[in-house]
Amino acid sequence: MVSSISFCDSKGKQLLSRKYRDDIPLTAIDNFATLLMKLEEESSVVPPCLTHNGIHYLFIQHNDLYIVALTTSLSTNASQVFTFLHKLVEVMSEYLKDVEEESIRDNFVIIYELLDEMMDYGIPQITETKMLKQYITQKSFKLVKAAKKKRNAARPPQALTNSVSWRPEGIKYKKNEAFLDIVESINMLMTQQGQVLRSEIIGEVKVRSRLSGMPDLKLGINDKGIFSKYLESTSSNSNSNDDNSNEVNSSKSSTPQPSTGQDEGSSRKTSNVELEDLKFHQCVRLSKFENEKIITFIPPDGNFELMSYRLTTPIKPLIWCDVNIHVHSKSRVEIHCRAKAQIKKKSIANNVEILIPVPDDADTPSFRYSHGSIKWVPEKNAILWKIRSFAGGKEYSMAAQLGLPSIDDNEKPKLKRPVQIKFQIPYFTTSGIQVRYLKVNEPKLQYKSYPWVRYITQSGDDYTIRLNG
Amino acid sequence: MPPLDKKIKKFLKDSVRIAPKISSKGELTELRTGLVSPYPQTRKDAIKKTIQQMTVGKDVSSLFPDVLKNIATNDVEQKKLVYLYVMNYAETHPELCILAVNTFVTDSEDPNPLIRCMAVRTMSMIRVDKILDYLETPLRRTLQDDNPYVRKTAVICVAKVFQLDKQLCLNLGVLTDLVSALEDPNPVVVANTIASLTEIYAMDSTVINLNDLIQSHVSKFLLALNECTEWARITILTVLSKYSAKDSIEAQDIIDRVTAHLQHVNPAVVLATVKVIIINLDLTKPQINDPVMKKLSSAMISIMSTPPEIQFIALKNIRIILEKYPELLTKETRIFFVKFNDPLYVKLEKIEILVRLVDASNIKQCTILLNELKEYTREFEPEFVSKAIQALSQLAIKYSKESFCNKVLDILLELLERQDTFKDDCCIAISNLLRHCPTSTQMVTQACGLLNTWVEPELILNRDEAKCNYVWLLGQYPDKFSSLEERILGFVENFRQEDPLTQTAVLATIVRLHTRLPGTILQTILELATKETIVIDIRDMAMMYWRCLSIPGGDELVQQLCNTAPPAIDNILDTFPPEILKKLIQELATISSITFRPQATNAKKYVRPETVVKGKKLDELKNIAKNEIVKNDEVLLDFGDDATEENNKNTTTLDDLDDLFNFGTVLPKESNSGTNLESDFNKLGINGGRQDTNTTSTSTTTQDLMDLF
């Protein structure tokens, strides 16, 4: 279990700490900076868990901060500690907006309060911001001895230790609404020739709940093709991935076929689609889902992520770029890029950004292009091509030329970094997932409610084209 | 209703803030003035400032009496701050703490549960005996509190008190209350109780029988599991993983009850669930296509989309789990392909998993991985590239076909031609490949052809391992190298600076090739190895050779000894010895599962010296405080050294063995070859005076095994 938690600046010097147990000397954290520095000098592999003198330092980085948990026991649950540290940052950012050195220094009172409430004796306790905000508030409260002004005194909400620990009672809205956002992020790794090396869809169902009382919600999704496959026994599925890898391997054509979302979705139901893993917010009754395959829950108030899923079915690139880079050493580098939106004609990809790496020492760029805007981003050693709106089936191209210094250091400039692409496609999910219904039932209030659903597909954090070395 | 002007007056008084003055008397005096100010808001500001000073590490303990004056307040925030201060500095002012006791006790009866909690939580953190004396009533009361929020805090306080003063805790008899709290109707209280009991058990395993308690409450835990916070679930799941099911039916039942938690969004809950299932699988012995295996795979994969630190733990854990259940995840290699923005430590672990995961009977998968690894060798982070090179040779040897090894060799040779930086790694990898396919003349010619172009290999190569492999190649394929004598001479000249592995290799190679080399080299090396090295094993080895060579017919004997064909290696992946693996499985998700060092079963029990500060004079106290810190340091130091040193020793010998023979599975093979060697020796009739040293210590045997090269 955790002995203390410290916030340190970018050099590892302590800003604030909270001690939970007595088994470490106060000076232990001072070693952290030196440890870190020594390690960084030796190699660039810096694992998030360091050990010195029998004390383990588990840390994460956030903005310009290190958040370090110290413990002496090898039997400390490391995954719990890291999850807690991330959660801590998440909660703090809801209180402080930006969690960074400056805001830590300015808000130590509230941070001490949070640390006190979120962890006791090194054991994580309460991390639901919605609940914490009920009794840890920025403003100070006066305690009044008599119970007269009871409402003012900060008290832990009753619900805190109930089985529904994420929702206080007595929430009221004039208009009862629930907003569902289905966001699918596509991660894809392609070769310059258009072969897809890896692709996955990471889906999230985000909910913004503005509902009164204690509503019980039931979510229906076109589960024919999705959930049933996941829940069926594995015998039929076990081969599927092998097949998939074959498919990917054989699709070596340099111009991948355009794919239309809806077709994809419907064909998926018959082909071997598999939702790799479903993850639910803690409000979802897991055993109910396990046994009856129904998603039911009492939502927290406000925004939260209801569920996430992942699909590793092979998909064709939605935005494809044919990039050609010619490096004429000692003089210049030439870049040709042809971008294509391989989505339905009706769909539009918004905010498309294509980041193409250029050599570190390149300069004096010149561009030729028909659409969007291009600029050179020297701090990233890349050029950025932005296209605000990119209709399905369209194809745009650009050419760029940058100068290289004439001094030759014998080595060909290397372009190890991949081309990165970002985009958003509204009203469309790649997997074909659809919400059938969202039933809201509040047994006491029996109000009318309005569910809203939005779909969006976007690039994940790893939608890249690997350039030939 | 007080008259309006009075109200206004009060409001003004409450909100007056005196601007801090620049005083010549220093900061502390200024704070002191603030703390005793008649205006509440000013006092509060001063408290905040005091805490701020404390936060940045300044000693503000001298303000203790003045801060304490502010403890009896109705302002929750201010109360929290004063409590925080008291907790930090109580030890330096034990006499004054008594003044706070009254407030603590009163607060523990406050109608507001938040205050009750705060009071008992703070009291149990203060290491002063006077406070602890007064703790009994509040602690008992809060343990029976109506509000579960208070109870969940109180049960943890028992562990805190136990840590501070075990005897007191036993005298109070609160442990009985704690055990009965396991029956609490509220699941969160149950979870905290079990966490508290686990802590107490870790400190002293004689006071409670944790295992019995777990056994008798399993059904209670399983029920509570579905109804509590995510953190409480982790606690309960961790306890469940300590439970040993009676039979396969019960084990299956537990698995069924927890499986749903594989879909929890909190990755720590998922890992804790994985652990419970893995441990119970021992009894149920499922088939490979059991749905639970499928679910386990997908749960572990799901952690690959969490923050990198958690991925790191998951990857380390997957490595452990894969050794027990190698069939898990085999279809999922692609998930572990490296993303370009992964942190380096994740990238390295992913490669480790990839080579273990790949199905050696699936050519397609192996080829895909081969291409992927080839791609990695073009990256720019040196650690990453050298791991990829290592992985390439591991993959080739795992897949085992000669044509495949040839492909890998081509990649390595191409890499060497392109870049200068990875000669060490490539040299090791190439030697491994050649040891795997000793009969392939084509590969030998290709590899040695390139190695032959290196001028002054003793300077080009840096790592001991790489040099030793290079020298071994010289001895193994002497015809493939030009100017053999010159190359060997280079190593001989550097002999003194070399590390033991290379020294051994140089010695063995020269003895092996002594008929081809001028006699002076042999003479030199034997003298160097007997006189100039500090490693006893090398000296002994040299002595042995020397004797063999000097007896009549010795040449033949040495030839016989040197030309024994080394066994072909068929796996160069490290594995855990079975008993270590067993322990690691028990310790999944913990820090020891990242370091791969299971806790020693008879490790030092958590010992704490008497830490409660008795009411004494101030000077004495200061000394005590100082000594405390020193003592603490020492205890920790000792502990760290013991544990790590021992482990280090083990691992280094293992590593050494590994490097030498490039065996993956060290233990069985070592003993085999060890005995072979002995019998060889016996046959050869040279078990003279040296034999004792040869066979008694493992490390000597290790070195002697080099003779086989």
Cα B610 from Cα B187, distance rounded (Å): 34
Cα A203 from Cα B538, distance rounded (Å): 61
Q: Residues A167-177: pLDDT tens digits?
A: 888 888 888 89
Secondary structure in 3-state letters for chain A: CCCEEEEECCCCCEEEEEECCCCCCHHHHHHHHHHHHHHHHHCCCCCCEEEECCEEEEEEEECCEEEEEEECCCCCEHHHHHHHHHHHHHHHHHHHCCCCHHHHHHCHHHHHHHHHHHEECCEECCCCHHHHHHHCCCCCCECCCCHHHHHHCCCCCHHHHCCCCCCCCCCCCCCEEEEEEEEEEEEEEEECCCCEEEEEEEEEEEEEEECCCCCEEEEEECCCCCHHHHHCCHHHCCCHHHHHHHHHHHCCCCCCCCCCHHHHHHHHHHCCCCECCCEECCCECHHHHHHHCCEEECCCCEEEEEEEEEECCCCCCCEEEEEEEEEECCCEEEEEEEEEECCCCCCEEEEEEEEEECCCCCEEEEEEECCCEEEEEHHHCEEEEEEEEEECCCEEEEEEEEECCCCCCCCCCCCCCCEEEEEEEECCCCCCCCEEEEEEECCCCCCCEEEEEEEEEEEEEEEEEECCC
**Mean pLDDT on A429-450:** 84
Does the structure show a pLDDT above 70 at A397? yes
Which of A250-254, B241-245, B306-310 is predicted least confidently?
A250-254
Interface size A-B, in CB pairs within 8 Å, comes to 300
Question: Which residues does chain B have within 8 Å of residue A77's beta carbon, measured at their own beta carbons?
Answer: 234, 238, 268, 272, 589-590
Closest CA to A115 of A79, A85, A94, A77: A85
Q: Look at residue A275 in the predicted model and tell me its pLDDT.
A: 62
The sheet carrying A332-341 orders its strands as A319-328, A332-341, A395-403, A363-369
Q: Look at residue B22 in the predicted model and tell me its pLDDT.
A: 55
* Residue A165 touches partner B, C-beta closer than 8 Å: yes
Q: Residues A196-209: pLDDT tens digits?
A: 888 888 899 999 99
Question: Which residues does chain A have within 8 Å of residue B187's beta carbon, measured at their own beta carbons?
Answer: 163
pLDDT higher at B585 or B695:
B585
Fold match, A4-135 / A319-426: no
> Per the structure block, which two tokens stand in for B542?
């040299």
Contact: A233, B289; criterion CB under 8 Å: yes
* Residue B647 touches partner A, C-beta closer than 8 Å: no
* Residue A54 touches partner B, C-beta closer than 8 Å: yes
Cα B429 from Cα B425, distance rounded (Å): 6
Cα B663 from Cα B673, distance rounded (Å): 11
Question: What is the nearest CA distance from B643 to chain A, expressed in angstroms?
Answer: 8
What CATH topology corresponds to A4-135?
Answer: Beta-Lactamase (3.30.450)
Please name the helix (run of DSSP H) or strand (run of DSSP E) that holds residue B346, with its range, or none: helix B344-357
Rg (chain A; Cα; Å): 27
- Mean pLDDT value across chain A: 80
Q: Which residues contact B106 (CB under 8 A, 6 or more apart)?
A: none
> Per the structure block, which two tokens stand in for A82?
């890291």
Question: Which residues does chain A have within 8 Å of residue B380's beta carbon, measured at their own beta carbons?
Answer: 414, 416
Contact: A140, B76; criterion CB under 8 Å: yes
Q: Which residues contact B272 (CB under 8 A, 6 or more apart)?
A: A77, A79, A80, B233, B234, B237, B238, B241, B261, B589
| Partner B, chain A 284-303, Cβ-Cβ below 8 Å | 285-287, 289-290
Question: Which residues does chain B have within 8 Å of residue A126's beta carbon, measured at their own beta carbons?
Answer: 229
Cα A103 from Cα A97, distance rounded (Å): 9
* Residue A61 touches partner B, C-beta closer than 8 Å: no
Does the structure show a pLDDT above 70 at B652? no
Q: Look at residue A276 in the predicted model and tell me its pLDDT.
A: 64
Question: Which residues does chain A have within 8 Å of residue B262's beta carbon, measured at their own beta carbons?
Answer: 277
Which of A293-297, B104-108, B702-706 is predicted least confidently?
B702-706
Question: Which residues does chain A have within 8 Å of residue B52's beta carbon, measured at their own beta carbons?
Answer: 108
- Which is it for the CA torsion B488, B489, B492, B494, positive or negative? negative
* Residue A411 touches partner B, C-beta closer than 8 Å: no
Query: At B205, is the secondary structure helix, strand, or coil?
Result: coil
Cα A12 from Cα A64, distance rounded (Å): 10
Tell me whether strands A382-391 and A373-377 are parallel, antiparallel or unpaired.
antiparallel
Q: How far is CA B27 from CA A173, A438, B31, B284, in A?
A: 51, 62, 6, 68
Percent of chain B with pLDDT strictly greater than 70:
83
The DSSP 8-state label assigned to residue B480 in this structure reads G
Out of A83, A156, A418, the one facing B266 most closely (by C-beta) is: A83
- In the block, tokens 């089985």 appear at A163
Q: Look at residue B21 in the predicted model and tell me its pLDDT.
A: 57
Does the structure show a pLDDT above 90 at B151? yes
Q: Look at residue A149 in the predicted model and tell me its pLDDT.
A: 39
Cα B604 from Cα A23, distance rounded (Å): 14
- State CA B466 to chain mean position distance: 28
**Mean pLDDT on B616-631:** 48
* Residue B293 touches partner A, C-beta closer than 8 Å: yes
Q: Enumerate the domain spans of chain A.
A: 4-135, 176-316+439-456, 319-426
| Partner A, chain B 326-345, Cβ-Cβ below 8 Å | 331-332, 334-335, 337, 339-341, 344-345
**pLDDT category, A379, cuts 50, 70, 90?**
confident
Q: Look at residue B313 in the predicted model and tell me its pLDDT.
A: 95
Question: Which residues does chain B have within 8 Å of residue A120's beta carbon, measured at their own beta carbons?
Answer: 121, 153, 156, 192
Q: How far is CA B296 from CA A199, A291, B315, B322, B672, in A?
A: 21, 17, 14, 12, 37
Contact between B563 and B680 (Cβ < 8 Å):
no
**pLDDT category, A421, cuts 50, 70, 90?**
very high
Q: Which residues contact A263 (CB under 8 A, 6 or more apart)?
A: none
Backbone angles phi, psi at A298, to 5 degrees: -105, 110
Cα B423 from Cα B417, distance rounded (Å): 10
Cα B169 from Cα B167, distance rounded (Å): 5
Question: What is the nearest CA distance from A182 to chain B, expressed in angstroms?
Answer: 17
Does the structure show a pLDDT above 70 at B88? yes
Question: Which residues does chain B have within 8 Å of residue A156's beta carbon, measured at their own beta carbons?
Answer: 113-114, 117, 147, 149
Cα B67 from Cα B256, distance rounded (Å): 55
Q: Residues B338-362: pLDDT tens digits?
A: 988 899 999 999 999 999 999 888 8
* Residue B705 touches partner A, C-beta closer than 8 Å: no
**Mean pLDDT on A381-390:** 91
CATH classification (class only), A319-426: mainly beta
Contact between B182 and B214 (Cβ < 8 Å):
no
Q: Residues A256-265: pLDDT tens digits?
A: 333 333 333 3
Q: Residues B194-246: pLDDT tens digits?
A: 999 999 998 888 888 888 999 899 998 998 888 888 999 999 999 999 898 88
Which CATH superfamily is A176-316+439-456 part of? Mu homology domain, subdomain B (2.60.40.1170)
- State CA A434 to chain mean position distance: 21
Cα B104 from Cα B142, distance rounded (Å): 13
Q: What amino acid occupies position B22?
A: I
The DSSP 8-state label assigned to residue B590 in this structure reads B
- In the block, tokens 């704690």 appear at B178
Percent of chain A with pLDDT strictly greater than 90:
28
Contact between B299 and A72 (Cβ < 8 Å):
no
